[in-house]
Amino acid sequence: APKETFWRVVRLHPSHQLQLDKGMGRSAYICTTANCLRAAQKKNRLGKALKATVPPDLYQILWERLSLTENGESD
């Protein structure tokens, strides 16, 4: 699937802070379905890919974004 269909999470260099969508640093992509997000959170897939601790509020933002896309809205 094209990268545009995924959400991008970035560990910024050199601060190691995590953010969504844009930035330079280590990146991980996650598909935009509840199953993908649930598995990523449960199995710490984003944390492993980014080699960083993913804060719960980042997952909360992703869940909110998912609910918006499921309701037909976009970012």
Q: Which domain holds residue 55?
A: 3-68
* 39 occurs within a structural domain: yes
> Using alpha carbons only, what angle is made at residue 13 by residues 25 and 8, rounded to the nearest 5 degrees?
35
Number of domains in the chain: 1
Q: pLDDT tens digit string along 12-70?
A: 999 999 999 999 999 999 999 999 999 999 999 999 999 999 999 999 999 999 998 87
Higher pLDDT, 8 or 70: 8
- From residue 46, alpha-carbon distances to 5, 29, 71, 73 in Å are 17, 8, 25, 25
* 22 occurs within a structural domain: yes
CATH of the domain at 28: 3.30.1230.10
User: What b/e sequence results for 36-68 when a residue is b if at least 16 CB atoms lie within 10 Å of its CB, and e otherwise?
Assistant: bbeebbeeebbbebbebebeeebeeebeebbee
What does the pLDDT read at residue 72? Answer: 67
* 9 occurs within a structural domain: yes
* 56 occurs within a structural domain: yes
* 49 occurs within a structural domain: yes
